[in-house]
Amino acid sequence: MASETLAVRGGKPVRSTPFPRRAPFGEREIELVTQAIRSQDLFCYSGTMCKELEKRFAGFYGASHAVASSSGTAAIHIAIGALNPDPGDEIITAPITDGGTVVPILYQGAIPVFAEVDSSYCMDPADVERKITSRTRAILVVHLFGNPCDMDAMTDIAKRHGVALIEDCSQAHCTSYRGKLLGQFGDIAAFSLQQSKHMTTGDGGMTITSRENLARRMMLFSDKGWARKPGWGARVYELLAPNYRMTELQGAVGLAQLDKVRAVVERRNELGSLLTRRIAGVKGIRPAPLTPGGKHSYWLYALGMESFDALEFAKALSAEGVPAGAGYIGDPIYLCLAPLMDRRTFGRSAWPLEGAGGHAPVEYRRGLCPRTEEALRRMVTLGIHEGYSEADVEDMAAAIAKVASGLAAPAK
């Protein structure tokens, strides 16, 4: 392999044919969507699909209650709304995540506090504990890329400090930690059903809990706070809340997807584990990490660069026919969200970052989580999904080895 010229330098690429496009939908989705349309009722409260999806999703995760919603962001907002933080309360969360994890915190008047990541790319429990103050209302863990957080440590921290624990399982459907599914550890958990997720309705979300006091607020928060009680007559809205209702079309697709998700995740775990084995001896890179006790579901495969520039490696790997990206989100989320960096939230104000509940002004800047910033600078991400074959993964591994060898040698 060392003698091969890299494709980015004019050599022949490892792979010249595209990888298989993911095709998550099939005849069962078409059948159930057709049933929904023929019912002439696509409203979740009078239809049957969303109710059935909520019931079955809750059962799948061993929860007492589930509330379907319009997106993963909505699902997280419902979770935070159910906790009902006071303005200026703090919620500790991950610095490597989508904006959909952070925006709901701000909309509920709470302050996002970012904990460093450890070698797993997930939140470092030790830094989470360091960030807890008298104003901490919740810890919002993000199971990044399908790799579980250290939930033994997270549940212990939350319990000892008396704060709520929310799980963001958007990238970690049907993913286990020490024999239990993620989503079963916290007080409340949120899932995204966006197109790229292990199970998808195109867009959509789900929030689950087994705590009765949270379940009622979850339901109300997804539906404008509307208490739909028979015999009440005039409408009653019990709390301030948005409208995040799912439609019967999404519910129909979700029912078919729920039947597939276990097999989808098992296949991704097989393929991701195969790739890890194949590149374990490649010098200068670190295969995707796995949290001890966890089983990875590989929403993305994250390589760590030990000896190479991530952007250069990603470009060279892409030239070999294996699409790759550098840095995932580029910078930690606090540097990506203009409302945080520029303190530009509602109108001309910086609320809740300034003045909410008497909280001192909060600023987000480079250097806030230096380990995280370095981890992203050294990260290369690869797509992998259940439609890949073992041969596809072998090509990925061969290209990674070729690029590592070629970049380590002087250009000819």
The pTM assigned to this predicted structure is 0.96
In the chain, what are the domain boundaries? 27-258
Instruction: Decide if pLDDT at 412 tops 90.
Output: no
Q: Are 120 and 168 in contact (CB under 8 A)?
A: no
So what's the pLDDT on residue 329?
94
Query: Which tokens is 367 given?
Result: 């250097």
**Is there a cis peptide before residue 85, judged by omega within 30 degrees of 0?**
no
Query: Which tokens is 288 given?
Result: 């995707």
Q: How far apart are CA 399 and CA 323, in angstroms?
A: 10
So what's the pLDDT on residue 233?
65
A 10 A CB-CB count for 9 gives 12
Q: How far apart are CA 56 and CA 53, in angstroms?
A: 5
Residue 1: pLDDT band with limits 50, 70, 90: very low
Residues 92, 219, 260: CA angle, nearest 5 degrees: 80
So what's the pLDDT on residue 347?
95
Query: Which tokens is 123 given?
Result: 């939140």
So what's the pLDDT on residue 234?
76
Residue 236: pLDDT band with limits 50, 70, 90: confident
Of residues 283 and 412, the one with the higher pLDDT is 283
Q: For the chain, what is the total number of helices (H) and then of strands (E)?
A: 13, 14
So what's the pLDDT on residue 231?
62
- For 294-340, write each residue's pLDDT tens digit: 999 999 999 999 999 999 999 999 999 999 999 999 999 999 999 99
Mean pLDDT score of the chain:
96
CATH topology of domain 27-258: Aspartate Aminotransferase; domain 2 (3.40.640)
So what's the pLDDT on residue 2?
46
- For 113-162, write each residue's pLDDT tens digit: 999 999 999 999 999 999 999 999 999 999 999 999 999 999 999 999 99
Segment 377-390 mean pLDDT: 98
- For 39-58, write each residue's pLDDT tens digit: 999 999 999 999 999 999 99
- For 165-221, write each residue's pLDDT tens digit: 999 999 999 999 999 999 999 999 999 999 999 999 999 999 999 999 999 999 999
Output the CA–CA distances (angstroms, integers) from residue 99 to 14, 149, 187, 202, 358, in the order listed. 35, 19, 22, 18, 25
Active site residues: 197
- Concatenated DSSP letters of 284-341: TEEPPP--TTEE---SSEEEEESSS-HHHHHHHHHHTT--EEESTTSS-HHHH-HHHH
Instruction: Decide if pLDDT at 364 tops 80.
Output: yes
Instruction: Decide if pLDDT at 12 tops 90.
Output: yes
pLDDT above 90 as % of the chain = 95
Which are the contacts of 412, defined by CB distance < 8 A and separation ≥ 6? 5, 9
pLDDT above 70 as % of the chain = 98
Q: How far apart are CA 203 and CA 299, in angstroms?
A: 16
Q: What is the DSSP letter of 141?
A: E
Q: Which residues pair with 223 in a beta bridge?
A: 243
Instruction: Decide if pLDDT at 76 tops 70.
Output: yes
